[in-house]
Structure 1
């Protein structure tokens, strides 16, 4: 008996896999491990963009801005925030475009952008860490509001802040889009109100702010070390682009008719988040200065104190209630996004490691549980240290992905499209995976002062610089051999008329129908398989990557 015949004899026949109700319900599951099909992307560009931008209502920006200005003074804080914003904006453009264009989240994008199928498991952990670290920071800010306004102990407030978001996140994009659209106007009015009021009632405060030194040893003036250290903290937010594209993957197909609205939405909700984010950081720096004389430098970094002081200037009788409402609203708007994106990341990680997928909702509870533990351990008190260290790893990852998209693809060192399916990818691609590891290692050593104070201050910039150099270099050295394990020759073709095909095909394993970009040929199952069933199959030993095309057992166009 030949090897090919033996394989077919041992392979399963007929429908072999079933999913529980949570996983089978597209409203709950939100295609967490899949290509988002065109039939599901029913929202307008405006709704998708508003939902994505609603997720950046977080007040950690205010805490970060306050922390930077208190530590490094006015000038260093402003320059650091603007430099970090420029880096984040530029790296976010290609990531947002490819995600919206191909209907895939950050994990699937990373797989095909130089990391390989298992290589991106490490970035899933990095991304999951971003979501639960910032969930913990935002939850801590909410608990501070509960303590000040309602006298709820912090430990209890942490629990409430964690549990309140779960019912909303369970229903995914369907519920989140309504929450963000309805609450966005209220949030915008309340956020800008203190700054407008100060400008009318006490405008000289903005002039005084330019002389604020905080605890900086160099005063309010310029210092390269201060700028580097401040930018390092702000750059920890570079992974926020992952949360933005978790929504942008639901953008409708770009057409000549909607092209302008499509691009406006992608740029505004993708890299554009950092424009508002930079304003909030500068706003936090101003409000920290504004309340420092009243509450002290330590508490001036807390957003509840910042907005209590801001609202107190023009509505003193109800300032506490309004400030607490604004903080809680802001934190709910962002933590539903942190929890949602974390559930997607954990789903991707465990599906590859365990070959099981109980549903996105299960991993939602894991992500919220880790964040709650961090809150109880007092993560807010280590804001600068935690974010400064994290930024080195995050920016190495984002830098490697961006380098592949803007350098390797135009130079044809990598495939022109994003291939995310297990059946077509090598487990590890040294181009992105190797670039990230090397860049992270060197920048972390720099962060721990191995190369001196200047390198320590600019360690995140070392990370992104190395990633941009190493990615095309490794692509040339490896000749791009590790991007694709085999070509996608399944009929109908992946692209029809320049767009991804929406032709429906049946998975021989689960029996469900999926659009063409989610399907692969499978010799083990002797038919076409959806990407999730392919990911969860533990018995095939990746035979499709070693068996020749003649042995696939399914129609293939050569």
Structure 2
């Protein structure tokens, strides 16, 4: 009987400890969801206006590079915020993978450009070693793959006080092997088994523990294994570390060549302008949507809360509703229900919220037509609006390949090198080579700027055409400096 009573006390103690742990875990999840919402809301304005400014033709090209850096860095920050939620999802076994079509050269170039900037800002050399041929398109979860690579590269830069960081990619059949090597502080052999555990942060006597949650490698390992791959690490204290990730990336030739993004300039809708009601307690988000849609011929009405949205809906009968979920007094879910059942509104309703990743678990959403996550992708928003309202967009004419406004005489070897880089889609390498050409021949600055503008828009076919013209001019003895054709 004493033993039975002892077992009962032990069971009660275990149950109490389990309840405390579950309560703490739920509190952590609520905190993570709350803080991620608070961070994603201002990011929505930052990324939204960066996208709008990128579309502005009056912005000089040299400023566009800065805007692209702002946008890519903001997207990186948004991915880090998603990482906070991933740990809880992984622990609960609720993480989802998607099969995206990734245009690999552009995908790699965006990551390399962003990480090279971070490395060089710290005084480190950044080396990207691509394979001779890169599949133009592969299938994988794009966001998760980006998260894995950025986590590894960010760690390498963070723990390397001097020297270099190298990023290498090789393909064997359809298996991609990503390798990140640094010359940093290294990891003692005894610590290698635990570097993938949560909340483990690096540091030693020469480099104190760096800021961070200590979740980067944990998330990286979990995502790699969920995607069917493997990750290994090797390190020598004082000499650096090497992380290697192997993943199956099935590739295919795209159905059509990548075309430059066509900028929407208006719509072909006849009759009165389409009216859009934006209900959001964040004035920056309302202003962003208005700045995007009003120049395209829409009438945008704004509401700071649900009662105001209901009043406007009864008075104006908008053609489309864009509703936030978290608003004071009444949620977007309840507002959507009342618009349908009480106000008699049949117009499409799109939920636009920083909490979209959690929408599927709420049991809500019987009255909306689509969802869109903050930070908002402006092309995705326009695509949904066009589909829901049946709008045919008008586009700006694709700019022709610019004429080389200056002298650019390329040696056959130089032209062949640039042509090869364009064929494999290595845009970062092309930019480096153009910079070198400009340094070697200041008189070719205008011609190099024209080529650089093509690369900025990934217009590789036009780049190759312009490159052929430049190399043909170099081969023509009647077009050299001092000739009758020299301008």
Do they superpose with TM above 0.5? Answer: no
**Max Rg structure:** 2
User: Structure 1 length normalisation: TM-score?
Assistant: 0.21
TM-score calculated relative to the size of structure 2: 0.23
Of the two structures, which has the highest relative contact order with CA contacts closer than 8 Å and spacing of 6 or more?
1
